[in-house]
């Protein structure tokens, strides 16, 4: 929480963008380490998948969900995501069109990598932990099972980094909305750039404090 506060309040969008890059690299390394460690424990995969099928055939069936539900997920996570404020905000920092295109390609590669590996491992965790009661505990439980304790902490910190960067972007969106739509519109329409910067920092700190409390 303290690091999110520092780079969101005093680093602004550049600070959040830099944090996203660093945390993205850490997360990628963490996911790769966990993936290969889990695969080493789960091999051969055919036996693992058969164990999951015996627990619940729906866990390995592509027809568990209705087509219209699956289509809605494709729309929500594939198209509508760009409309989220914290998703749009970082795109305003692109230097030029070339940088934007490079970001689209790199972003697609990394997101596909994370998604395929994490979702696949989440499903395969059932082969090692048949009595898993909370699906959201799959990845942490898997990490604790296949990795040494110290490496488990590093890996889970890397995965949590993605959450931190999203929180930082959301806090900036809220802060900007308050400063521009409330302070600048009704309280001090003639505020200077220096005043806006100070008010933005104070607002961001206050929002961080409220959220984390």
Q: What pLDDT score does 118 carry?
A: 87
Q: What pLDDT score does 160 carry?
A: 75
Decide: pTM greater than 0.75.
Answer: no
Q: What pLDDT score does 1 carry?
A: 63
pLDDT tens for the 213 residues of the chain, in order: 676 767 666 776 777 777 777 878 888 888 899 999 999 998 888 999 999 999 989 888 888 888 899 899 888 877 887 777 767 777 777 888 898 899 889 888 988 888 889 888 988 999 999 988 888 899 899 999 999 998 888 888 877 776 777 777 788 888 888 998 889 889 898 888 889 888 988 888 888 888 878
Measured from the Cβ of residue 9, the count of other Cβ atoms closer than 10 Å reads 22
Q: Kindly give the interhelix angle for 97-128 and 12-42, rounded to the nearest 10 degrees.
A: 30
Structure letter (DSSP) for residue 10: T
Q: What pLDDT score does 36 carry?
A: 93
State how far the alpha carbon of 89 is from the alpha carbons of 12, 14, 17, 93, 205, in Å. Answer: 11, 11, 10, 8, 19
Q: What pLDDT score does 127 carry?
A: 92
DSSP symbols for 137-204: GHHHHHHHHHS-HHHHHHHHHHHHHHHHHHHHHHHHHHHHHHIIIIIIIII-TT--HHHHHHHHHHHH
Q: What pLDDT score does 164 carry?
A: 74
């Amino acid at each position: 929480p303290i690091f999110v506060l520092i780079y969101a309040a005093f680093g602004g969008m550049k600070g959040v963008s830099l944090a996203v890059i660093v945390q993205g690299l850490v997360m990628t390394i963490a996911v790769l380490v966990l993936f290969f460690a889990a695969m080493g424990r789960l091999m051969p995969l055919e036996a693992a998948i058969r164990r999951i099928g015996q627990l619940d055939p729906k866990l390995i069936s592509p027809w568990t969900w209705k087509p219209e539900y699956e289509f809605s997920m494709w729309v929500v996570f594939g198209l509508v995501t760009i409309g989220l404020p914290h998703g749009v905000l970082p795109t305003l920092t692109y230097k030029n069109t070339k940088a934007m295109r490079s970001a689209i390609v790199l972003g697609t590669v990394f997101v596909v990598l994370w998604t395929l590996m994490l979702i696949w491992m989440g499903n395969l965790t059932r082969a090692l932990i048949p009595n898993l009661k909370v699906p959201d505990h799959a990845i942490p439980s898997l990490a604790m099972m296949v990795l040494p304790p110290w490496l488990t902490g590093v890996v889970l910190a890397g995965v949590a980094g993605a959450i931190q960067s999203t929180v930082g972007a959301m806090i900036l969106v809220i802060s900007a909305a308050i400063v521009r739509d409330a302070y600048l519109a009704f309280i001090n329409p003639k505020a200077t750039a220096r005043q806006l910067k100070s008010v933005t920092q104070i607002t961001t700190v206050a929002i961080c404090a409220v959220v984390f409390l």
